[in-house]
Amino acid sequence: MKQTEIFQMLSDETRLRALALIARHGELCVCELMHALDLSQPKISRHMAALREAGLVTATRHAQWVFYDINQTLPDWQQQVLSAALSGLASDATITGDTARLATMNNRPKKNAA
């Protein structure tokens, strides 16, 4: 990833909110992100594809769901940038609302489904 690309990825509110949720809750699928962020599937999928292509997240298929997680193999400087951005959002009202919405989701997919 180019040095400026991480900042481009983090400059979008939807991508930043998704990353904050994933960092806080671990692997999340598109349906969970749709519910938490109150956005459409195409919009979430497009943003997650951009984050995956940039190398910030990884995607793992579990049954019919694709779960996204923070890429644990990011170079140190990228991990530090991401960590700083997300720690700055720790008490942000929008992120708190996203987390509260995620908690209301019924029938969340099981990550260990085969």
> Would you say residue 8 lies in a domain?
no
Q: Is residue 42 part of a domain?
A: yes
50 in any annotated domain? yes
């994933």: which residue's tokens?
Answer: 22
The count of domains in the chain is 1
CA dist 46 → 49, 80, 85, 102 (Å): 5, 25, 21, 20
The beta strands (E) that lie in the chain are given as: 28-29, 57-62, 65-70
pLDDT score for 4: 87
Q: Look up the domain containing 89 and give its range.
A: 36-104
> Is the residue at 59 inside a domain?
yes
Which amino acid is present at 112? N
Domain-located, residue 23: no
Tell me the per-residue pLDDT of 68-108, one tens digit each, with 9 for 90 and over. Answer: 999 999 999 999 999 999 998 888 999 999 999 999 999 88
User: What is the predicted pLDDT for the residue at 112?
Assistant: 63
